[in-house]
Structure 1
Amino acid sequence: MTALLATFAVGTSALSAIAPASAYEIKSREQAPDRFKNILQDLRAFVGQEGQYLSPETINARRVDLSKLEFKFDHDVKVFFLGETASYRNRLDFQATKGSTVTTGKIFGDTSCNVGDASFTNFSQYCSAPDGALENTVAPNKPLNVGDWVSLGSFSAGTKLDFLLHADDINGGITGTDANGQTVKGIWSLNQALNPDGVQHAISYYYKDYIIIGFEDLWGGGNKDYNDTVFAIHFGDDNARHVTSVPEPTATIALFGIAGLGFLSTRRRRINQVTKVDSEL
């Protein structure tokens, strides 16, 4: 955790090795593993609608504990774009830390939904305000189709993951004042302690061995809907079950041991209509 704090806070730390990753090939949902394609329509329930306010209790209960987002077993990582409701055109990065080595990389340069994907079934439930590509942009800085994904490669046991949302990065980013009175860009970590505005910007869920992350992109938490960029992570069933303490493969509980909590109360009916869940999230 200390290494993550140091690296994110200063951008260039005294850590012995920082290894930027190569550009990643963005693959289509048609190229995704069958298990993901089979649940993709279920996952629209985690995106929801623009301006869906979440209570402070719900937000706090879905807080990501980075100390537990750690590989217990060697495995590859796949990241799947699900949708967004943002007016900003955000960028999603990852950071993997093991010991003194920090690997970083840009996953998606523009997490806008592609307006050209509108024929996808239930598209509007994943994407409330799709966009066209900005002039002279190419992948990974173009809007995404629902289910687009990348493989980040393999990581060894003991590696810790973080994901960073650069708010409106493709348009130059947003800025605000941090706790030290400095004007800095809005770059949001899963870890609230690393965010320059001191606000929690991500919430998390667990569903069928996938971890789903939803970001709020506005400085200070904005409208607190936490669906401005939503994506799913798969880093191995055993790893996912370890960090969530799932007793059986079919169990469905909230991420990182928050068992017994209901899913967003305002959306529970919608999820039950969309999916058959073994136990409530």
Structure 2
Amino acid sequence: MKATFLTALIAATATLTGLVAKVETASAADFTWNNSWTQPTVYSKSQTGFNDTPFQQFVQAESVALPNSGQFKLDPSKLGLKYNYDVSVYFINEGASYRNQLAFDATGTTNKSGLVFKDASCDGAGCILGGGATALKLGDGVKLGNITGGTQLDFSLRANGLNLGNSANIFSTETTSNPDGLQHAVAYAYNNYILLAFEDLYGGLHASGIDPATGKANQNSDRDFNDVVVVLDIGEANVKALIGATVPEPSVTLSMFAVGAVSMFGLRRRRQTRTSN
């Protein structure tokens, strides 16, 4: 490991420790996926003015493993808002053969949950992988509405949920609630936003066969954490309250997140074929 990258990891640990320690919110409630949820209105970046370009550099290259270590763990019990804010979520990219779904859960002074993206597939220029009749464009966003100070936000990915429904694995920002007991989400502060990215395959790096602890099938995971990448707009004041200072410098964040060469084109597809609804 290069010294510069080790330094970045140490900086990442300090930054993330500050991020998760500043705001005390209610304990995370048990999360249940509701099949009656409907897709909120999706707004294009031309409608919202959101610029996804600065975040594309942080999307992990396909099949390049991101270290599965405590430095990168997001503690969702501390992802809280100190101030009221109209929260939005923006789609950045995805490198999944699955048709994944993303949902949120807010608990505390605001209590509500719902779908973020019914089909978090990507289509068009800049996508790692493309396809899907309901695919998203880079920078598309949805509004979660006003979330009041003292509320905790959690996010869950239903892996290939568009096709598998209730039989799909659900991976949360809370590691202990994941079916394989492994970390499936990473998060960083950047430019007054929170960058959140998921891994959608069950099991450890390249694990195959049946997991004896659960009886579930390991899925030869590449642990690249690029299967759904989004940005949370919780407001500059909330981000700064979370980390207790200004957000990390771009060079530090890049070292934290872009492990290996990052290229948005010519990346090899997974062996699995993306299925359609």
- 1:187 corresponds to: 170
- 1:137 corresponds to: none
Percent identity reads 35
- 1:276 corresponds to: none
Structure 1 ranges of 4+ moved more than 2 A: 1-5, 20-23, 251-254, 259-262, 264-267
The answer to whether the 8 Å contact 1:91/1:110 transfers is yes
1:21 positional shift: 7.3
Please list, as runs of the form range in 1=range in 2, the aligned pairs for 1:151-166 lying within 5 A after superposition. 151-166=143-158
Aligned partner (choices 249, 268, 271) of residue 252 of structure 1 = 249
Partners of 2:253 and 2:115 lie apart in 1 by 35
- 1:24 corresponds to: 40
Partners of 2:180 and 2:223 lie apart in 1 by 14
C-alpha distance 22-54 of structure 1, shift in aligned 2 (>3 A):
closer
Please list, as runs of the form range in 1=range in 2, the aligned pairs for 1:105-120 lying within 5 A after superposition. 105-114=114-123, 117-118=124-125
The answer to whether the 8 Å contact 2:102/2:155 transfers is yes
- Matched position secondary structure for 1:53: coil
Partners of 1:220 and 1:235 lie apart in 2 by 31
- 2:202 corresponds to: 219
- Matched position secondary structure for 1:172: helix
Answer yes or no: is 1:205 the counterpart of 2:184.
no
- 1:67 corresponds to: 77
- 1:266 corresponds to: 259
Partners of 2:166 and 2:229 lie apart in 1 by 19
Structure of higher RCO (CA pairs closer than 8 Å, 6+ residues apart): 2
Please, what TM-score do these two structures have when normalized by structure 2?
A: 0.72
The answer to whether the 8 Å contact 1:167/1:173 transfers is no
The answer to whether the 8 Å contact 1:66/1:161 transfers is yes
- Matched position secondary structure for 2:155: strand
- 2:28 corresponds to: 4
Partners of 1:22 and 1:132 lie apart in 2 by 18
Answer yes or no: is 1:85 the counterpart of 2:95.
yes
The answer to whether the 8 Å contact 2:194/2:231 transfers is yes
Q: 1:118-152 CA deviation, whole Å, 9 max, x = no partner? A: 3xxxx1xxx2220031xxxxxxxx11000000111
Q: How many residue pairs align between the two structures?
A: 222
C-alpha distance 167-270 of structure 1, shift in aligned 2 (>3 A):
closer
Give the gaps of 5 or more residues in structure 2: 1-24, 205-220, 264-277
Please list, as runs of the form range in 1=range in 2, the aligned pairs for 1:91-110 lying within 5 A after superposition. 91-98=101-108, 102-110=111-119
Answer yes or no: is 1:43 the counterpart of 2:55.
yes
1:234 positional shift: 0.6
- 2:273 corresponds to: none
1:195 positional shift: 1.1
The answer to whether the 8 Å contact 2:38/2:118 transfers is no
- 2:236 corresponds to: 237
Answer yes or no: is 1:53 the counterpart of 2:77.
no
Partners of 1:252 and 1:74 lie apart in 2 by 26
Partners of 1:170 and 1:81 lie apart in 2 by 17
C-alpha distance 153-167 of structure 1, shift in aligned 2 (>3 A):
same
The answer to whether the 8 Å contact 1:21/1:104 transfers is no
- Matched position secondary structure for 1:96: strand
Q: 1:1-53 CA deviation, whole Å, 9 max, x = no partner? A: 88524x22xx39xxxxx9x97752100011123xx32xx22211121321011
Give the gaps of 5 or more residues in structure 1: 13-17, 134-141, 176-184, 272-281
The answer to whether the 8 Å contact 1:85/1:227 transfers is yes
Please, what TM-score do these two structures have when normalized by structure 1?
A: 0.71
The root-mean-square deviation of aligned C-alpha atoms, in Å, is 2.8
User: In terms of mean alpha carbon deviation, does 224-233 or 165-174 score higher?
Assistant: 165-174
